[in-house]
Structure 1
Amino acid sequence: MHGRGIRRLGWFTHVPWFRVAALAIAATAGCGPLGAEAPDTVVPQVEQVEQGLTQVTGFGSNPGNLQMFRQVPAGVPANAPLVVVLHGCTQNAAGVEPGGWTAASNVYKFYVVYAQQPSSNNPTSCFNWFEPGDIARGAGEALSIKQMVDAMKAAYSIDPARVFVTGFSAGGFMVPAMLATYPDVFAAGAINSGGPYRCANSMTEGFSCMSPGISKTPAAWADLVRNAYPGYTGPRPRVSIWHGTNDFTVRPANLTESMKQWTQVHGIDQTPDTTDTVGGFPHKVYRDSAGTALVETYELTGMGHAVPVDPQYSFPGSSTACGATGAYQSDVNLCGVYHQALFFGLTETSTPPDDTTAPTVNVTAPVSGATVSGTVTVTASASDNVGVARVDFYVDGNLVGTASTAPHVFSWNTTTVANGSHVLGARAFDAAGNSALDADTSVTVSNGGTTPTTVSFTSIAAEDGYVKANADGSAAELGTLTGLALGRGVDGKHNRPLLSFDTSSLPDTASITQAFLTLSYSSGSGDPWASPAGNTLVIDVATGTFNAAATETGDWGASATASAVAGVAKFTSGTIRSTDFAGAGASAVNTRGRTQLRLRFAQNPAATAYLFVKDGANATLTVVYSP
C-alpha cells in the first residue's frame, strides 16, 4: 500500500470551534505527492475483523492512503449490488456501521464497503473533499475508493450496474466527487449533509462552502461535473439529497445547490415533479420525461447535523431495526437508510405505501363543561392503524405533560392556573410523525382561596454561559461559542450551561406552587438522550448563585441547593417546557435575588452528542405562587 507525504488538512471538524485550529495547522502543513493509478483488477488481502467488519488490504495502489472494510451478508446471491459508505469527520467505519447499512445489507442481501480515513491523513479523520488532488478522476482519495470497488468486483460476484455510494458530512461532500469522476462506476448516490461537487478548491473555500454556502447557476455547477470526466457520454448517476433544516455546520443551502447541480447534469429543470411528505418531512422528486426519478431531496425539519435513523422501525419483511442512535445519528422517526436503499432499488420489493394516516385522539375525562378543582386526572383515548407513539397534553395551548404508553393520562394540578374557563387538549403521534389534535374540552376551574399568580422571568444573557470539563470535572474551562452547549462535544468535554434569573420581584411571603423552565433549541448533532440509552437532561437549582453571578469554571461541579429537580425531554427544534420542579426545586427559587439554574445530562454521554440552546429572552423561568 503506497503512502503519501504530509498532506494538507482536510475538512477539520463538524463544528465551528475547530476552524481556527484547522487554519493554524494547515498553515504549517505541506502537500505530499499523489500516488499513481493502479490497474483496475487487484487481488485484495483480508486482514483483521473490526466490530463485525473485515478490513481488506492490498486493494490497489491506494494513492489516497485510505483503509477499506467490507461487510458480506450471509446468503448473498450472485450478481449482487454493492454500496460504498463514507463517514464524516471524527468518525470511522466501526462508528458509522451501526447507522443501518449493515442491517439493510443483511435483509436485502447486498455487499457494503466502508471506506475509512486514517488520522495519519487527517487529524480528525475527514475525507479531503476540497483538495483538487483528492477529487479528480485517477488520483488521490477518489481513486482509492474506486479501487475498493474494483477489489470487491474481483473477489465477489458484483453487478456492475448496481454500485452505489452514500456519505455524511465530509463523506457527503465526497459522494458527488465519486459520482462526477466515476459516472461509469456508480449508478446512484446519496448525499447526507454534504454539498455540490467542487464547491471548494481549498480548505478556506471549504469553510465558505459549509457556511453560509456558495451559490452558482445550475449550468455553472453542471459544468464542474462534466469537466471531471471530459468526453464521457454515458448515463449519469441518480442522486438522493438529505439535509437537516437546523444544520448549522453545513448549511441547508447546500441541498438546494446540490439539487441545481444534478438536475442540470441530467438535463431536467429545477421544478419538482412530485412534492409530498415522507414521515412528516418535505420530499421532492425531479423526473425526466419518462417519469424516472433522477434527483430527490429530503428536508429534515428541525434536525441538525446528522443522518436520520429510526431504531423503532423494522425494514419491511423483517424484524431488523433501522440502525441505532449515536454520534451524528438522530432518531427523527424516519429510516434514512431504507429510503435511500429504496431509491437505489435495493429493496427488491414494490414501494410500500407511506403511512399518512393520522391517529385519532379524544379527551375523555374530565368531560367538557365540567367544573374541576385541586388535582385532576386528564385522560385521552388514542388509536392508530400502526400504533400510537405518544400523547401530549395541553392546557390553554401550553404543553404540560406527555404519556408514551396507554392508558394516556396526565395529573393536572388546577391550582397552577387562575379560576375560570380553560381548554384541555391532547395531541397523538404515530411512529411516522403523523399527528391529530383534540382541543374542544372546556372546563371551569374553581379553587377556593386566593387565585394563584403566574409570572415569567427571562434569563440574564450577560450572566449566562456554559462550562465544559472532563467527565470527572477536571480541566474545566468556559465555553466561547454563541449559545449554550449541552452534552459532549467533539473535544470530548462535557458541557453544562448556567442560566441566571432575577426573581427578587417575587413577594417574600410567596408560596410557590409550581415552577418550570422553557428552553429554545438552536442547533445540535447526535442524540445525547440516547448516549447512553435512557439518558436524561436534568435541572439543578441554586438559591442565589452557584458562585459569582457571572458564569465561572467552578460552576460545573458546584453544589446546588436542589439537584435534578426537573427534566427536559428530547427536542430537536422550537421550544420545550421542562417538567414541573419538584418541591425542593420550587422552594429553592429565591424571592430576594438571583436564582440560577444549571442544566446537565444525568449521565455523561459516551460519544460525541450535543445541542445548543438559546439564552436571554429565549430562556424563561415561570413561577406560579400564592401571595
Structure 2
Amino acid sequence: MHPPSAHRPLLRTLATACVAIVALLLGLLGLAAPASASAHPGAAARAGAAAGTFRQVTDFGSNPGNLQMYEYAPAGLSSGAPVVVALHGCTQSATDYYNDSGWAKFADQWGFAVVFPQTTTANNIEKCFSWFDSSKDTRGNGEAASILAMVTHAEQQFGSDTHRVYVTGLSAGAGMTADLLADYPDVFAGGSVDSGLPAQCATTLTAASGCQMNDQHLTPAQWGKKAKDSDPGYSGPWPRVAIWQGTADYTVYPVNATELVAQWTDVWGIGQTPSSTRSLPGSTTETLYNDATGNPAVASFSISGMGHGLAVDPGSGAGQCGATGAYFLDTICSSYYTALFWGLDGPGGGGGGGTGSLPAPANLKVTATTDTTAALSWGPVDSAVSYTLYRDGTETGTTTSTHYTDTGLTAGTSYTYTVAAVDASGAAGAASGAVTATATGGFTPRCFTADNYHQVAAGRATTSGGYVYAAGSGQAMGLYNVFVTHTLEETAPGHYIVADAGCPA
C-alpha cells in the first residue's frame, strides 16, 4: 500500500472542487518518494564504475511535453549500439531510476546507451508521466513527442542502431511505455511494462483509477485495436513486449498484466495459448507466447507475492542488479531478464551470435530431452568450421557437427536456445531463431475442472470486483459464482492457466 505521503491532499494547490477530485485520483497513481540519490546505496555502486557519465541533456530538440532528458552511455560506446529508454514512476526522478533499476550495469556490460526521460511537478503534481491523457500520450503529441525527440537525439549522438531501440518503465512510466509501443511501433523494437497498464486503457484522468484497479471487460481484439489505432495503417513488424507484474499489487492490479497479454498477443496475431512456461528466481513464473517463426513475441513475468514496484535483485552476480528502495523491490532482476528477452546480450540481438559474416543456421529444433539434457539439431552453413550454442543468451558449448546435446539442466525447467555458425577466423555469425526445450521430470502439470467459486476456494484462482482470475497467469475466468465452470492447468507450482480447450494445453 502507499505510505501517507503518496496520498497527501492536494487541495492547497487547487482552485476548485473538481480539480480536487482529480488530485485525489493522482494519489492512486503516485509512488512513495525514494531516498535522495546521494544517500542511496545504488548511487555509490554507480559512482564506483569506471564507465560513462550520467548527465542531463538540455538541447535534445522539440519538447512539446516539457520533459527533461538524462542519459548514460559507457565510455567508448561503439557505433551501431542499441538504445534503451527507461521511464521512472510517479514521485521518482531519472536519477532514482539510474541508481536503482540496474540498467546502467547492463549498459556497461553489453554496450548500449540509456535515455532517462524525466517529468516534473510542472507537468503533474506527483511527477507522473501522463499515460492517461490523450493530448500527451499519443503519436506526435506532448510527452510522447518529447520522448521521440530524445530517441532521435541519442541515435544521432551515439550513431545507434535505429532497429534496436527499446523502452521500459515502472507504473505510470510503464503506462507511458505501453502507449509509446503503440504510438511508435516503427521506432521501438521492444518494450517492458513493469507494474503497468495496457496501451490507451484510459484517455482521461477520471478513467485512470478504473484502469488501475478493475477489469475493463474487453476482448483481445478490442485491446489490440486500441494499440493498432494508435498508428493507423501500420502493419508491422511489431515490438516484442515483456510484462512484469506482482500478484500482490494493489496499486496496479494483476488484471492489467492479463489485459496486456491479451492486447499484444492480438497485435501479433498469435493467440492466447502459452508456448512455454518456466520458473525463475524470486518466485517468478515466465510465460512465453511465440510468433509464427518460433521466437518469443510476448513474455509475461508473474512474481508471486510481490507488491507494486520494479523487481530488482541487489548483488554482484551475473543475473543480479539494482538497489532496493521505495518501490524497488528485492525479488528478481527484471532488467536482466528483460535485456535477455530483447537480445541485448548479443551484438545482433536474439540471444547470441556475433559480428561474423556467416548467415544464421536454419531449422534449429529440439530432438530429445531428458531430466538433465536437451538434444538439438540444425541445418549446415557453407564455410562454417564450427557452431556455437547459446542457452538463455549465454554461450553453452561448441561443436563441429550440426547437432549438440546440452547437459546439466534442471528437471522441469524450460531453456531457450540459439545457434550461430563460426568461420575460419573464429568469428560467430548471426544467431538463429530461438527454440525452447523443457527438461523432463520435476513438476508434473495437473488439471482441475470446477466452477469459479470452488476454484477460488481451492486457491487456484483469485477474485476481484466480482470477477475471477487464474492464480499466477491472471487470465480472466468470468463471474465469481457457481454457474461458470473452467478447467485450470497447473503448469508450475501455484501457476494456473485456463485450459478449457484441452488439458494439458
TM-score (norm 1): 0.49
Cα 1:167–1:309, aligned 2, differ >3 Å: closer, same or farther? Answer: same
CA contact (8 A) 1:16 1:249 kept: no
CA contact (8 A) 1:81 1:111 kept: yes
Structure 1 residue aligned with 2:126: 124
Structure 1 residue aligned with 2:285: 282
Deviation at 1:158? 0.3
SS in 2 for 1:338: helix
User: Quick one: which of 17, 27, 47 aligns to 2:18?
Assistant: 27
Give the Cα–Cα distance (whole angstroms) in 2 for the partners of residues 100 and 20 of structure 1.
Answer: 30
Structure 1 residue aligned with 2:302: 299
Larger radius of gyration: 1
The runs of at least 4 aligned residues of structure 1 exceeding 3 Å deviation read: 13-26, 49-52, 352-358
Deviation at 1:315? 2.5
SS in 2 for 1:127: coil
SS in 2 for 1:270: coil
Give the Cα–Cα distance (whole angstroms) in 1 for the partners of residues 143 and 276 of structure 2.
Answer: 36
Q: Which letter maps to 2:70?
A: F
SS in 2 for 1:327: coil
Give the Cα–Cα distance (whole angstroms) in 2 for the partners of residues 199 and 73 of structure 1.
Answer: 36
Structure 2 residue aligned with 1:335: 333
Structure 2 residue aligned with 1:87: 88
Name stretches of at least 5 consecutive residues in structure 1 with no aligned partner.
Answer: 1-12, 32-48, 359-434, 436-627
Give the Cα–Cα distance (whole angstroms) in 1 for the partners of residues 86 and 270 of structure 2.
Answer: 28
SS in 1 for 2:315: strand
1:253-332 equivalences in 2 (<5 Å): 253-279=255-281, 280-315=283-318, 322-332=321-331
1:111-510 equivalences in 2 (<5 Å): 111-279=113-281, 280-315=283-318, 322-332=321-331, 334-348=332-346, 349=352, 350=390, 351=392, 352=394
Deviation at 1:278? 1.4
CA contact (8 A) 2:245 2:301 kept: yes
Deviates more, 1:16-25 or 1:250-259: 16-25
Q: Which letter maps to 1:300?
A: I
CA contact (8 A) 1:91 1:125 kept: yes
1:531-570 equivalences in 2 (<5 Å): none
- Whether 2:71 is the aligned partner of 1:73: answer no
Give the Cα–Cα distance (whole angstroms) in 2 for the partners of residues 263 and 343 of structure 1.
Answer: 16
Give the Cα–Cα distance (whole angstroms) in 2 for the partners of residues 217 and 346 of structure 1.
Answer: 33
Name stretches of at least 5 consecutive residues in structure 2 with no aligned partner.
Answer: 23-42, 48-52, 347-351, 353-389, 397-406, 412-441, 443-505
SS in 1 for 2:164: strand
Q: Which letter maps to 1:337?
A: S
Give the Cα–Cα distance (whole angstroms) in 1 for the partners of residues 226 and 116 of structure 2.
Answer: 27
Give the Cα–Cα distance (whole angstroms) in 2 for the partners of residues 327 and 165 of structure 1.
Answer: 22
Q: Which letter maps to 1:61?
A: S
Q: Kindly provide the CA deviation profile for residues 411-452 of structure 1, in whole angstroms up to 9, marking residues without a partner as x.
A: xxxxxxxxxxxxxxxxxxxxxxxx9xxxxxxxxxxxxxxxxx
SS in 2 for 1:201: coil
Deviation at 1:18? 5.3
Q: Which letter maps to 2:327?
A: Y
Cα 1:296–1:143, aligned 2, differ >3 Å: closer, same or farther? Answer: same
C-alpha RMSD of the superposition: 3.0
Structure 2 residue aligned with 1:62: 63
Give the Cα–Cα distance (whole angstroms) in 2 for the partners of residues 262 and 230 of structure 1.
Answer: 16
Q: Which letter maps to 1:309?
A: V
Give the Cα–Cα distance (whole angstroms) in 2 for the partners of residues 281 and 124 of structure 1.
Answer: 30
Q: Which has a greater percent of strand?
A: 1
CA contact (8 A) 2:202 2:208 kept: yes
CA contact (8 A) 2:275 2:290 kept: yes
Q: Which has a greater percent of helix?
A: 2
CA contact (8 A) 2:77 2:158 kept: no
Give the Cα–Cα distance (whole angstroms) in 1 for the partners of residues 289 and 266 of structure 2.
Answer: 11
Give the Cα–Cα distance (whole angstroms) in 1 for the partners of residues 208 and 113 of structure 2.
Answer: 32
CA contact (8 A) 2:101 2:322 kept: yes
Give the Cα–Cα distance (whole angstroms) in 2 for the partners of residues 177 and 355 of structure 1.
Answer: 41
Structure 1 residue aligned with 2:112: 110
Give the Cα–Cα distance (whole angstroms) in 2 for the partners of residues 173 and 356 of structure 1.
Answer: 37
Cα 1:112–1:18, aligned 2, differ >3 Å: closer, same or farther? Answer: closer
SS in 2 for 1:311: coil
Q: Which letter maps to 2:300?
A: T
Cα 1:169–1:14, aligned 2, differ >3 Å: closer, same or farther? Answer: farther
Give the Cα–Cα distance (whole angstroms) in 2 for the partners of residues 249 and 215 of structure 1.
Answer: 19
Q: Which letter maps to 1:307?
A: L
Give the Cα–Cα distance (whole angstroms) in 1 for the partners of residues 148 and 2 of structure 2.
Answer: 25
Deviation at 1:159? 0.1
Give the Cα–Cα distance (whole angstroms) in 1 for the partners of residues 244 and 408 of structure 2.
Answer: 20
Q: Percent identity?
A: 43
Deviation at 1:103? 1.0
CA contact (8 A) 2:137 2:179 kept: yes
CA contact (8 A) 1:215 1:257 kept: no
Q: Which letter maps to 2:58?
A: T
Deviation at 1:153? 1.4
CA contact (8 A) 1:162 1:186 kept: yes
